Structure 1
Amino acid sequence: MLPQSFTERMQGLLGSEYEEFLASFEHEKYQALRLNPLKRDDMSVITEKVKQTFQLQPVPWAENGYYYTKEDQPGKHPWHETGLYYIQEPSAMAPVTLLSPQPGERILDLCAAPGGKSTQIASAMEGEGLLVTNEIHPSRAKILSENVERMGIRNACVLNETPEHLADIFEEYFDRILVDAPCSGEGMFRKNEVACEEWSPENVQLCADRQDGILECAARMLVPGGRLVYSTCTFAPAENEGSISRFLAKHEEFEIVPIDKKELGIPEGCDGIPGCVENPAPGITGTLRLWPHKLRGEGHYAAVLQKKGELPEGYQPVSATGPEKGIPAKNLTKDWAEYFNFAKETFLEEQTIKAGLCTAGEGFLAFGDNLYRMPERMPGVKGLKVLRPGLHLGTLKKNRFEPAHALALALRPEDVKHVWKLSVEEAAAYLKGQTFSAEGEKGWYLICVDDCSLGWGKLAGGVMKNHYPKGLRK
């Protein structure tokens, strides 16, 4: 049952299309996944195998995005645990396409949990540059961090901060910012009954007020010439065209970049609606509304904003915390010698030197007994609530080094000396924590299925001990 005040507003907004919109709530929701190119340089073979396993059709507005059918169960396949794909609502893939992330940039995902858009940004960045991905709620930030790990992302710093605190630290710092704002969730009514039950006109206004504050913080953190994408999963004009119009009324240094819907494969009639709010911003029709009765996805809104101006040649933004210095090389080789012994025994040097995993230079950071490889140009973390400052390499335990699950998921078979390949059936048993008989040189093995890393095993005495994390076992 849809709230009456919601249906009355939508009827006024849609006019003759209202009945078609209302009928869309009776349709089954569309489901999609997005393949992760960080797992392979050449995705063609594994992509074809995934297509043969599931009934996939392309999502027009998302590279590597595919619809799957209700008969498919990609979440239960071992491929899911390798990070080969991320299950994501199809309309939710559009904002990152509009953000157009590039390798080597500094990018912020300000309201990032559970991590679908952050992992999509990371795929486009190809492991180069700095991705700061933030979530204000601690429990949701933990889920975000887990998804960053599962997708094998090396260049992300996961934070649990307020937008206001970040704005004080990262003044004109980021090349691109995504604000996937907390909203009233009207676009999820078909998918999530709880969203419908919790809805109220008062909550819509509360969300709109909160969005204004988040956008103010984002504006401070964007460099001149930078791109900001604002998105919601609601139909409410106050949170969509209204949020953008109120923001632009106070910020003449920003302007709307019109979205080319045709190029994205989005049907006509998905423009922003100027008459739905008072004092609409110039160019508001160039924003995007994804309607469930017009395309195969839930309700979403997105706007692309550009900050006027350009950066001086050679400009290097600096955070208020300065650059993170990490562990000095002389201390690193002394205090973390067990890691470098592990690296020498495990990695194929030529491949992993490129990623800085074998070299004792700058770029390593320790939190207690945990060692991380930082992203390039990592800002200082002092005073920040950090969940994941880059790639977790592992933990020092009683003078021995135990590699992290995150490291396994970030590696490929060609990166290591010892690989153990499992069939899909064997992989399912591995995910339950089972050990298995194996013969070979003793030591750490990268456990793989279809050339995608799944976790670690340690071979000794003809038995491969299972090091898949107990908390993740099926």
Structure 2
Amino acid sequence: MTDSDKIQTLPLPFLERMKEMLGDDYDAFLKSYKNPRTYGLRVNTAKLSCQDFQALSPFPIRPIPWINTGYFYEEESRPARCPYYQAGLYYLQEPSAMTPASRLPIEPGDFVLDLCAAPGGKATALGAALNDTGFLLANDISTSRTRALLRNLELFGMKNMLVTDEKPTKLAQRFPAFFNKILLDAPCSGEGMFRKEEALARDWTPEKSAELSDIQKDLVLKAADMLRPGGMLLYSTCTFSPCEDEEVVAYLLRQRPDMELMEMPGYEGFSSGRPEYAGTADTSDSEIALSLNAFNSEELQKCVRIFPHKMDGEGHFLALFRKKGDSLPPVFRFSEKGPDKNTRKWLEEFFSEVGLKTIGGQEFDWNRVEVRKDKVYYQLPFPLDLRGISFLRNGLYLGDLKKNRFEPSQPLALALHKGDVEAVISLPVSDERLTRYLKGETLMIEPEEAAHKKGWHLLCVDGYPLGFGKLVNGILKNKYPAGWRV
């Protein structure tokens, strides 16, 4: 498709509205559709520093100026084919889409909610910022999309996570005023992604934006109700539509007077929100009518709009809220139960064989071990009442109980850090055996390459875990799961 064809596929009502919105900037906006799309990756700082990744990267990268963990790469680099990707060292994400998670200030120990999290780009960023403190609840209403979300979080080595496929209404009932930080990257009409995904432009209608605006208003109220006093909520979309952006923000401020807009760390390419798009509210309720008098639409300038003619990325919208007041953290009573005697024995035998000392640099806590249908899990460090809540994962999946033995899982391998285990085989990223391992093949291992002569080993790329294998007579039997193979 030629550049002219790209512009011709854009819906006329969309173009007319953008011309009205942008005025003198409209021609520059239109020309941006002729520019090639940009490609980005975000470093998993829970596994390595950006400086370490810059030294390791086998392909050219350059920093994304408004994302301190993000880098541009060239399309032909194909970073998804590099073993570093399978080791969870980075996530591939459109540069502008990295912005929302980067503007939600995560503190160690925060309870964080990503309400519409699939496929996991923003959730992995939030989890990496937590760095195995507090916990992350990553939710998506679609079970199939939640499976992809779980896979990406496991690839990043996340342990303190709860992954749910639940309706926001039920979560709001179970977790009122519970989270320190919430990200709501709401389902939207996707106008900001028309250059990247032409199918979105073909399916777009003004009516869809209006329908989505109603959904977004409902979601943002539920998110606000799950936020603790003193906590922060970031609302974002990848659309330019005012009824999905400023109008939703104004709606929340009118309906919840305890919410206020905050300034975000800026960048020269950011554009301000537009007060004229505040929309209207139902004033039949006297409380809402009173709050209307206190609402100042000029506050909407604190929102951020990202336009493709001003930045190297696609379109986005962001608004950062704070709930007024202060609150104390919840108090939990953790039941010191732990696994039964046999389960602990088999786990200890495996830990001894591989020389496991810590998981992610943290001492192993036996009270967090739970067995469900012969699968062993490492639960969150505090109990949550999950009765009636549909979830795919609560904590870290450690592995499976077989006949008188324990077999480790792929998520356990990826949750480990350098120095966590002694039985390691580390190969350089250029070693073709890594590609063969990721395809499920057995490998020949030289005696000097393995920590032990036989038994379970953690195969690593330049010291970063990829997965497990079992060494027998110089041959590493591949234990990389079929569902993970390249």
Q: CA offset at residue 354 of structure 1?
A: 5.7
CA distance in 1, matches of 2:53, 2:166: 37
Report the alpha carbon displacement of residue 277 of structure 1 after superposing the two structures with TM. 4.0
CA distance in 1, matches of 2:53, 2:279: 51
How far did 1:234 drift?
0.4
Matched, 1:73 2:78: yes
Matched residue SS, 1:191: coil
2:481 corresponding residue in structure 1: 469
Whole-angstrom distance in 1 between the partners of 2:418 and 2:104: 32
Q: Superposition pairs for residues 75-94 of structure 1, below 5 Å?
A: 75-94=80-99
How many aligned residue pairs are there? 456
In structure 2, what is the Cα distance between the partners aligned to 1:187 and 1:220? 28
Q: CA deviation at 1:282?
A: 4.2
| Contact 1:333 1:340 survives alignment (8 Å) | no
Q: Is the 8 A contact 1:30 1:90 kept in 2?
A: yes
Alpha-carbon distance in 2 for matches of 1:395, 1:75: 29
Indicate if the aligned counterparts of 1:352 and 1:415 stay in contact, CA closer than 8 A.
yes
CA contact (8 A) 1:89 1:297 kept: yes
TM-score (norm 1): 0.92
Partner of 1:441: 453
User: In structure 1, what is the equivalent of residue 314 of structure 2?
Assistant: 298
Residues 240-288 of structure 1: per-residue CA shift (max 9 Å, x gap)? 0010011111111001102242xxx3326x0001123435734100100
Which one of the candidate residues 419, 431, 434 is aligned to 2:438?
A: 431
Quick check: 1:328 aligned with 2:329? Answer: no
Q: Is the 8 A contact 1:107 1:177 kept in 2?
A: yes
Q: Which residue of 2 aligns with 1:238?
A: 243
Quote how far apart the aligned CAs of 1:9 are: 0.7
Q: Deviations over 1:442-463 (max 9, x none)?
A: 2110100111111111112332
Identify the range of structure 1 (237-246 vs 409-418) with the bigger mean alpha-carbon deviation. 409-418
Q: Is the 8 A contact 1:212 1:247 kept in 2?
A: yes
User: Which residue does the alignment assign to 2:330?
Assistant: 317
- Which range moves more in the overlay, 436-445 or 163-172? 436-445
Distance 1:64 1:8 in 2: 37
CA distance in 2, matches of 1:353, 1:44: 20
Asked whether the equivalents of residues 231 and 323 of structure 2 are also in contact (C-alpha less than 8 Å), the reply is: yes
What residue is the counterpart of 1:458 in the other structure?
Answer: 470
Q: 1:423 and 1:430 mapped to 2: Cα distance?
A: 13
Q: What CA distance in whole angstroms lies between the structure 1 residues aligned with 2:43 and 2:233?
A: 25
Q: Distance in 2 between matches of 1:284 and 1:69?
A: 36
Shift in Å at residue 43 of structure 1?
A: 5.3
Q: Is the 8 A contact 1:324 1:381 kept in 2?
A: no
Matched position secondary structure for 2:400: strand
For residues 323 and 290 of structure 1, the distance between their equivalents in structure 2, rounded to whole angstroms, comes to 45
Kindly tell me: are residues 25 and 222 of structure 1, through their superposed partners in 2, closer, same or farther at Cα, counting changes over 3 Å? Answer: same
- SS of corresponding position for 1:396: strand
Contact 1:104 1:125 in 2 (8 A): yes
Please name the residue that 1:191 is paired with.
Answer: 196
Between the aligned partners of 1:457 and 1:61, the Cα distance in structure 2 is 40
Aligned match of 1:18 in 3, 26, 30?
Answer: 26
CA displacement 1:336-365 (0-9 Å, x = unmatched):
43122212222342x3496343x43x2122
* 8 Å contact from structure 1 (residues 130, 378) kept in 2: no
Counterpart-to-counterpart distance in 2, 1:234 and 1:376? 38
Tell me: CA distance 1:114–1:132, structure 2 relative to 1, closer, same or farther (3 Å). same
Structure 2 gaps of 5+ residues are 1-8, 281-295
Given the superposition, is the C-alpha separation of residues 378 and 148 from structure 1 closer, same or farther in structure 2, using an over 3 Å criterion?
Answer: farther
Give me the identity figure in percent.
39
Q: Distance in 2 between matches of 1:285 and 1:414?
A: 48
**Corresponding position of 2:43:** 35
- Is the CA contact (8 Å cut-off) linking 2:188 and 2:237 kept in structure 1? yes
Q: How does 1:33-432 map to 2 (within 5 A)?
A: 33-40=41-48, 44-50=51-57, 53-261=58-266, 265-267=267-269, 270-278=271-279, 281-311=297-327, 315-317=328-330, 325=335, 328-329=337-338, 331-349=339-357, 351-352=358-359, 355-357=362-364, 359-360=365-366, 362-424=367-429, 425-432=432-439
Matched-pair contact (CA < 8 Å) for 1:46–1:450 = no
TM-score (norm 2): 0.90
Contact 2:139 2:146 (C-alpha < 8 Å) held by counterparts? yes
| Counterpart amino acid of residue 481 in structure 2 | P
Q: 1:354 to 1:67 in 2, by over 3 A?
A: closer
- Taking structure 1 as reference, are residues 97 and 43 closer, same or farther at Cα in structure 2, changes over 3 Å only? closer
Q: 1:219 to 1:43 in 2, by over 3 A?
A: closer
RMSD: 1.8
Partner SS for 1:45: helix
Quick check: 2:169–2:222 contact (8 Å CA) kept in 1?
A: yes
- Cα distance in 1 for residues equivalent to 2:257 and 2:227: 14
Question: 1:289-319, CA deviations, whole angstroms, 9 ceiling, x for partnerless residues?
Answer: 00000001100000000100111xxx3337x
- Asked if 1 retains the 8 angstrom alpha-carbon contact of 2:278 and 2:297, the reply is no
5+ residue gaps in structure 1?
none
Distance between the aligned counterparts of 1:444 and 1:236, measured in 2? 54
1: CA distance between counterparts of 2:467 and 2:360?
21
Contact 2:41 2:70 in 1 (8 A): yes
Q: Which secondary structure state, in structure 2, belongs to the residue aligned with residue 372 of structure 1?
A: strand
Q: Residues 396-439 of structure 1, C-alpha deviation per residue, up to 9 Å, x if partnerless?
A: 12232110000001112311121012233221111111102234
SS at match of 2:157: coil
Q: C-alpha distance in 1, partners of 2:407/2:144?
A: 26
CA contact (8 A) 1:181 1:231 kept: yes
